[in-house]
Structure 1
Amino acid sequence: MDRRTPVTASAISRPGETLLNDIEYRFRLMGQGPSPLSVDGRSLGHGLPRRAIALSELSVILMHPSCGYAARDAVWRLLVQRARTGDPAWHAGAVGVALPGLRFKAYLLAKLFTGDVQAAIVEHFLRALSTVDLARPGVVGNLLSAAFSKARTELRDLEPASSGAPNHVPGAVVPPAPYGHPDLVLARAVNAGAITAQEAELIGVTYLEEVSLTAYAERTGQPRWNLYKRRTAAVARLRAAIESGELFDPYADVVNEATATLVLDTPTSRKRP
């Protein structure tokens, strides 16, 4: 890829390839050769290898359970700063390192919409690189949350069911509002008495938008341990209501799967308020 060419979702893809698979292929190529795109682990610190780390290796290190939040944030602050220089190679590198998160977000969006969810999530991730607040903890989570939110809005506006355009693909029609939106599944759970409005916000933000429990606690001024206990109890009631059919909705499985698989910043021991 020409380092002088601006990177967009369409510029990354090749005909006949799914976008995220093609990004992964190109990202692996970036890690080969005598001078792969890399960062200096010695200057980053936080237990990272004290040498040049190719981005393809870096992505594996960041996924390992032994890599702490401080190390992830240090790496992502550097990646965002490099991307903001305007060098397309660093735009592509940041997308490559974020691929696991982008795949999960695209999976959730594909449950809701029939549009090009991969292009939407990548395009909005690239835009978020220039706007994310590097002073806030959880840099990559904030990037992915912003990309998911913007992509969801864009795709919802393009849906045939909401625009009135016909769609004859079997099973492809997304019901008009108030269906087809995980936040509205949570709203119906509130109306049904399964969870409270406060619990719906807590679940929606920390599971569907990938805001960590610590960040949410700081935002609201509440003890993290109390939030964790409230969320655990609320999720149990919500999943029971979904699985019993009480909250039947063609997209309720998005909420059910997210609360079953994505647990962010879970405290391992009780902390004092």
Structure 2
Amino acid sequence: MPDDVGVFASTGGDPHGRVWPLTTVRDCFALLVAGPEPLAVDGSPFLGLPDRLVPLDELRDRLMASRCPQSTRDTAWALVIRRSREHGSAWTVGCAGMALPALASVAGRLSRYSAADPFDVHAEVLAGFLAAVTTARLDLPRIMVRLRWAAYRAGLAVVTQAREGPRPDSDLFDARGHVGESGTGHPDLVLVRAVADGVLTPAEVDLIGATRLDRVTVAAWAADRGTSARAAYVLRSRAEARLVAHLTGLDASLVSSRPAKAQPIASPANNATGPPARPHLVSPSASAPGTVSHPAAPRDALSPVTTLLGGPRPWV
């Protein structure tokens, strides 16, 4: 397993001499899985795991393997989380250590172009994850994905707060890039800025990020939040329409969540919980007579939209 937090291993690079939160997790986790009696779980009940005690660092690697069944991931995570809730201490550190690659990735992306102190972002990402460990429903699928998005939301709050605060040097800030002006950026960064710009709510970012960038179904996302799949589809469709309009500079009236006439659609009776069509840009050439034609959005402005609304996922 690569050292995803190696950049924070030394306090020498921090001007305040601070020990980074994820570095502390990494070091404590390493102690827990070292020696003749590492923190481990019995792998015999789990499909695809060896019939022996499996140290948590090995368990993490096995669960992250693409060939690992999702049912095994969820069952193993549920076991470790229950032990954290019952015993705390070492098992809570064990949970954080198993999630460390995901937490480091989330914290790194959120802090990369943020005005917030990266130390604060990393601390909030970890705090958000640990809070979710105590409350996440273990009877629903994709436990780790939901924990990661809880960590993401916590870090996003810090990033958004910093972006909305005073800007002592506007030229320097603008040089770091603004979605409303350039329209380009990493999908995560697009979502962060959309919240800061008042285009999306944190709940909408959570929905779009989880269902577009991760392998979370809309039905699973909705069930975890006590709403219907249909309501979640409608929420996502409307949010994505606003996001497309914001990124391209087009009027919101030119971004439709309704399917084009030439596209066949399923009967509502047979697809009551299915998704509405993805938001699409209304072609100027298809405008009705008498309407004002607008220039097409530049290709680079649509690149983050393509990724967010169904393009290749930059990570899993």
With the length of structure 2 as denominator, give the TM-score of the two structures.
0.57
| Corresponding residue for residue 245 of structure 1 | 300
Q: How far is 1:45 from its partner?
A: 2.1
| Corresponding residue for residue 143 of structure 2 | 139
| Corresponding residue for residue 290 of structure 2 | none
| Corresponding residue for residue 35 of structure 1 | 37
Q: Residue 301 of structure 2: SS of its match in structure 1? A: coil
Q: Give 2:155's match in structure 1, choosing from 151, 154, 165.
A: 151
Q: How does 1:50-129 map to 2 (within 5 A)?
A: 50-113=51-114, 114-116=116-118, 117-129=121-133
Aligned equivalents of 1:50 and 1:164: distance in 2?
Answer: 57
Q: Give 1:26's match in structure 2, choosing from 25, 28, 37.
A: 28
Aligned equivalents of 2:205 and 2:26: distance in 1?
Answer: 35
In the superposition, relative to structure 1, how do residues 244 and 96 fare at CA in structure 2: closer, same or farther (>3 Å)? Answer: same
Q: How far is 1:101 from its partner?
A: 1.4
* Max Rg structure: 2
In the superposition, relative to structure 1, how do residues 107 and 206 fare at CA in structure 2: closer, same or farther (>3 Å)? Answer: farther
**Is 1:182 the equivalent of 2:177?**
no
Aligned equivalents of 1:201 and 1:83: distance in 2?
Answer: 25
Q: Residue 45 of structure 1: SS of its match in structure 2? A: coil
Aligned equivalents of 1:217 and 1:109: distance in 2?
Answer: 25
User: Given that residues 74 and 142 in structure 2 are in contact (C-alpha distance below 8 angstroms), is that contact kept between their aligned partners in structure 1?
Assistant: yes
Q: Which has the higher contact order (CA 8 A, sep 6+)?
A: 1
In the superposition, relative to structure 1, how do residues 35 and 131 fare at CA in structure 2: closer, same or farther (>3 Å)? Answer: same
In structure 1, stretches of 5+ residues that fail to align are 1-12, 191-198, 235-240, 265-273
Aligned equivalents of 1:21 and 1:168: distance in 2?
Answer: 33
Aligned equivalents of 2:113 and 2:42: distance in 1?
Answer: 40
Q: How far is 1:51 from its partner?
A: 1.0
Residue 51 of structure 2 aligns with an amino acid whose one-letter code is: R
In structure 2, stretches of 5+ residues that fail to align are 1-8, 13-18, 182-188, 234-270, 281-295
Aligned equivalents of 1:86 and 1:79: distance in 2?
Answer: 10
User: Given that residues 14 and 22 in structure 1 are in contact (C-alpha distance below 8 angstroms), is that contact kept between their aligned partners in structure 2?
Assistant: no
| Corresponding residue for residue 166 of structure 2 | 164
Aligned equivalents of 2:208 and 2:170: distance in 1?
Answer: 34
Aligned equivalents of 2:206 and 2:104: distance in 1?
Answer: 24
Q: How far is 1:58 from its partner?
A: 0.6
Residue 154 of structure 1 aligns with an amino acid whose one-letter code is: V
Q: How far is 1:129 from its partner?
A: 0.7
Q: Residue 152 of structure 1: SS of its match in structure 2? A: helix
Work out the percentage of aligned pairs sharing the same amino acid. Answer: 27
Aligned equivalents of 1:101 and 1:142: distance in 2?
Answer: 11
Structure 1 residues 70-96: Cα deviation after superposition (integer angstroms, max 9, x where no partner):
000001111111111252111111011
Q: How far is 1:120 from its partner?
A: 1.4
In the superposition, relative to structure 1, how do residues 201 and 144 fare at CA in structure 2: closer, same or farther (>3 Å)? Answer: closer
User: Given that residues 96 and 130 in structure 2 are in contact (C-alpha distance below 8 angstroms), is that contact kept between their aligned partners in structure 1?
Assistant: yes
In the superposition, relative to structure 1, how do residues 14 and 200 fare at CA in structure 2: closer, same or farther (>3 Å)? Answer: closer
User: Given that residues 160 and 192 in structure 2 are in contact (C-alpha distance below 8 angstroms), is that contact kept between their aligned partners in structure 1?
Assistant: no
Q: How far is 1:206 from its partner?
A: 1.4
Q: Residue 124 of structure 2: SS of its match in structure 1? A: helix
User: Given that residues 84 and 92 in structure 2 are in contact (C-alpha distance below 8 angstroms), is that contact kept between their aligned partners in structure 1?
Assistant: yes
RMSD: 4.5
**Residues paired across the two proteins, number:** 229
In the superposition, relative to structure 1, how do residues 176 and 37 fare at CA in structure 2: closer, same or farther (>3 Å)? Answer: same
Aligned equivalents of 1:243 and 1:58: distance in 2?
Answer: 46
| Corresponding residue for residue 195 of structure 1 | none
User: Given that residues 129 and 147 in structure 2 are in contact (C-alpha distance below 8 angstroms), is that contact kept between their aligned partners in structure 1?
Assistant: yes
